[in-house]
Amino acid sequence: MIRGLTVLLLCQVVGELLVDVAHLPVPGPVVGMVLLFGWLQWRRPSKESGVVRAADGLLKHLQLFFVPAGVGIVAYAALLRDDALPIGVALAGSWLAGLALVGWVVQVWGREHAEAATLPSAGPPTAPPPASAGDGGGPDA
């Protein structure tokens, strides 16, 4: 389990370093998650590996990771109250933009798959129908 936590923290730290060095406009933990995903795809760890056990242990207590965010919201309640309208507009606008983008992608994807389903199959030719019993082509001939 210690080895698994080490891998998780190493991905986090390397993600932070990459963001700092390359001046990426993405949070370090996001880059770390992408690195972890790549590592998991490369290694294909079993269910009994340290990384999986460490992740399961952290996920069991996931609700505790929301406490700092909740405390931050309470601590900055006055600031949030002053900027409630712009924050609300940004949240609603980004949600609507995401919804519209997903809807558009699904429509395009559905159209392409519907066209592919109507095209004739490019697979191997179909086998001829089985011979009837009286034509001499069967095993009892």
Q: Model confidence over 25-83: pLDDT tens digits?
A: 999 999 999 999 999 899 888 877 888 888 888 899 988 888 988 898 899 888 888 89
User: What whole-number distance in Å separates Cα of residue 106 and Cα of residue 100?
Assistant: 10
Every domain of the chain and the residues it spans: 1-60, 65-116
The backbone region for 49, taken as left when phi is positive above 0, alpha when psi lies in -120 to 50, beta otherwise, is beta
In sequence order, which ranges of 1-141 are alpha helices (DSSP H)?
Answer: 2-22, 28-43, 50-60, 67-75, 77-82, 84-118
Cβ neighbors of 115 (< 8 A, separation 6 or more) are none
Q: Taking residues 128-137, what's their average pLDDT?
A: 62
Q: Which range, 46-55, 78-87, 94-103, 118-127, has the best average confidence (pLDDT)? A: 94-103
| Max Cα distance, the chain (Å) | 93
Q: Taking residues 86-103, what's their average pLDDT?
A: 96
Global pTM value:
0.52
